[in-house]
């Protein structure tokens, strides 16, 4: 009997209950000590009250997801298997297998979007606005394969969900950091909760039916300043297996697609298997995901086939680099140009 035949899916609420919003503060809770953890679902619901005064308020380019400045899963108080910005997690939800993130972002109703007003609300009109949005945090690599599952019921494992609430609004001068952009004396106040559900799979009775848990599935996000037009090399850690690499480009304090020239991946100084023009990259993303990704988002997807054919094993290579090359005509502002990089990897646990 295989693991898929011997186990049973469970989806249950986080034992600690709803995680209340506190502006700019972190909250944390332990995941249930049961089975193999596969995914965490976060539904945020509350009321955003806008008082425009003589100013104005608008939903930022990263809102409402940037109501979380950080979401993460910490294992044994030492290892971040997932550490992403709220907006980064929303981007990831658009490209992971079998998860179509468009219901969380689209507002145009249609036959396949019957519950838009339930899954996504983020108004910023004067007065009280109901907010609803969802994030999925993947522990396993996808919805089918038992790779990356985390043995939560082991007495040697403690997994902690960490949510860091952002400040509700700001001027967003250097980049769209806050979910609401405020002008003049406008204010924004949020009151609400994050409701968390955890998906896990039961441990089969027979050891031979249990999955291989020698690999952790990690998702981490980092930021690098862009200092000039032309080539900007993002150094990538080596030693693990890369499934995807997602770049989010911010130029002059705004998400930016048009100033990208090309994307390159290189290693061992001379090996360059990927040298992709912006137009080809945008076409690839539409072909792969059936939609255009948000402005500024570019994905190297080596796991789109759900096979290991194209994944990058970095154990035996040197100087792994991702080049985010800007057009020579790009004009950069002062201290407001960045590339945020999400690395999705498989990490082998030491025996």
Tell me what the mean pLDDT of segment 257-271 comes to. Answer: 96
pLDDT score of 109 more than 80: no
What are the distances in angstroms from CA 45 to CA 4, 88, 136, 264? 34, 19, 15, 40
- Please tell me the distance from the alpha carbon of residue 200 to that of residue 189, in angstroms, as a whole number: 35
- 17 φ/ψ angles, rounded to the nearest 5 degrees: 85, -165
pLDDT score of 350 more than 70: no
User: Where along the chain do its domains lie?
Assistant: 3-201, 218-348
pLDDT score of 193 more than 70: yes
- Confidence class for position 108, pLDDT limits 50, 70, 90: very low
Query: What's the alpha-carbon Rg for the chain, to the nearest Å?
Result: 21
- Predicted TM-score (pTM) of this structure: 0.94
pLDDT of residue 100: 47
Q: Are 38 and 140 in contact (CB under 8 A)?
A: yes
- Please tell me the distance from the alpha carbon of residue 294 to that of residue 297, in angstroms, as a whole number: 6
Q: Strand, helix or coil at 342?
A: strand
- Please tell me the distance from the alpha carbon of residue 107 to that of residue 83, in angstroms, as a whole number: 28
The CATH code of the domain at 3-201 is: 2.70.9.30
Q: Are 257 and 309 in contact (CB under 8 A)?
A: no
Q: Which CATH class is domain 218-348?
A: mainly beta
- 92 φ/ψ angles, rounded to the nearest 5 degrees: -60, -40
- Confidence class for position 114, pLDDT limits 50, 70, 90: low
What are the distances in angstroms from CA 102 to CA 89, 107, 318? 13, 9, 37
pLDDT score of 327 more than 90: yes
Q: What is the pLDDT of residues 265-276, one digit of tens each?
A: 999 989 999 999
pLDDT of residue 98: 56
Q: What is the DSSP letter of 160?
A: E
Q: What is the pLDDT of residues 22-40, one digit of tens each?
A: 999 999 999 999 999 999 9
- Please tell me the distance from the alpha carbon of residue 66 to that of residue 125, in angstroms, as a whole number: 18
Q: Are 276 and 282 in contact (CB under 8 A)?
A: no
Highest average pLDDT, of 1-10, 47-56, 97-106, comes from: 47-56
H helices of the chain, where? 3-6, 86-92, 102-105, 116-119, 278-289
Q: Are 273 and 311 in contact (CB under 8 A)?
A: no
pLDDT of residue 105: 47
pLDDT score of 285 more than 80: yes
Please tell me the least confidently modeled range out of 9-23, 108-122, 236-250.
108-122
- Please tell me the distance from the alpha carbon of residue 233 to that of residue 240, in angstroms, as a whole number: 19
> Shortest CA distance to 223 belongs to which of 182, 258, 174, 269?
174
Q: What is the pLDDT of residues 40-91, one digit of tens each?
A: 999 999 999 999 999 999 999 999 999 999 999 999 998 999 999 999 999 9
Tell me what the mean pLDDT of segment 265-288 comes to. Answer: 95
pLDDT score of 101 more than 60: no
Q: How many CB atoms lie within 10 A of CB 108?
A: 7
Q: What is the pLDDT of residues 169-178, one digit of tens each?
A: 999 888 889 9
- Please tell me the distance from the alpha carbon of residue 161 to that of residue 169, in angstroms, as a whole number: 24
Q: What is the pLDDT of residues 132-146, one digit of tens each?
A: 999 999 999 988 889
């Amino acid at each position: 009997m295989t693991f898929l035949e011997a186990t049973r899916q469970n989806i249950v609420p986080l034992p600690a209950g709803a995680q209340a919003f506190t502006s700019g503060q972190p909250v944390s809770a332990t995941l249930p000590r049961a089975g193999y953890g596969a995914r965490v679902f976060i539904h945020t619901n509350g009321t955003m009250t806008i008082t425009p005064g003589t100013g104005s308020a608008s939903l930022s380019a990263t809102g409402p997801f940037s109501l979380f400045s950080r979401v993460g899963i910490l294992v044994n108080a030492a290892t971040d298997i997932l550490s992403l910005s709220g907006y980064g997690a929303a981007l990831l939800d658009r490209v992971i297998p079998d998860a179509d993130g468009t219901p969380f972002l689209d507002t145009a109703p249609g036959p396949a979007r019957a519950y838009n007003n339930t899954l996504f609300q983020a108004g910023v009109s004067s007065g009280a606005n109901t907010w609803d949005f969802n994030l999925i945090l993947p522990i396993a690599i996808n919805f089918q394969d038992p790779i990356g599952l985390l043995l939560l019921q082991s007495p040697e494992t403690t997994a902690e969900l960490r949510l860091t609430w952002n400040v509700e609004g700001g001027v967003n001068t250097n980049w769209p950091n806050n979910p609401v952009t405020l002008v003049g004396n406008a204010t924004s106040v949020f009151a609400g909760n994050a409701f968390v559900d955890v998906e896990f799979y039961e441990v089969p009775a027979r050891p031979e039916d249990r999955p291989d848990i020698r690999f952790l599935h990690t998702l981490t996000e980092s930021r690098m300043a862009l200092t000039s037009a032309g080539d900007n090399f993002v150094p990538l850690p080596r030693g693990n297996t890369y499934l995807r690499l997602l770049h989010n480009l911010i130029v002059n304090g705004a998400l930016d697609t048009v100033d990208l020239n090309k994307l390159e991946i290189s290693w061992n100084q001379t090996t360059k298997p990927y040298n992709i023009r912006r137009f080809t990259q945008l076409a690839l993303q539409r072909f792969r995901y059936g939609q255009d990704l948000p402005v500024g988002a570019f994905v190297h997807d080596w796991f789109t086939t759900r096979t290991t054919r194209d994944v990058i094993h970095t154990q035996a290579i040197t100087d792994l680099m991702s080049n985010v090359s800007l057009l020579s005509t790009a004009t950069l502002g002062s201290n407001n140009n960045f590339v945020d990089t999400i690395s999705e990897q498989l990490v082998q646990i030491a025996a």
